[in-house]
Amino acid sequence: MRDPREDPELLALVHRYVLPGRRYLKLGGPLLRMEEGEYGRFLRALREDAGAVTAEEIGVLLEGGWRERRTAA
């Protein structure tokens, strides 16, 4: 498992995909309880990032901790 505190590549990806809005906490059940406006904004941001992330970046995120893996999945 890679540690973002010791891996600059993973840390950059964490800042780009995992931490904005604490995204990793909103995936799953909390997503279903969002208000309509928040839900729409969250999904737009998620869709944009899904279109921008590369397969290699997903691979790096999957080598991280639970937050990184959850977001990558």
Per-residue pLDDT reduced to its tens digit, 52-71: 999 999 999 999 999 999 99
Assessment of whether the complete model's pTM goes beyond 0.75: yes
- Total length of the chain: 73
Token representation of residue 33: 């309880």
Long-range CB contacts (within 8 A, 24+) of 43-46: 45/20, 45/21
Reading the chain (73 residues) residue by residue, the pLDDT tens digits are: 999 999 999 999 999 999 998 999 999 888 889 999 999 999 999 999 999 999 999 999 999 999 999 999 9
Task: Select from 4, 16, 21 the least CA-distant residue to 52.
Answer: 16
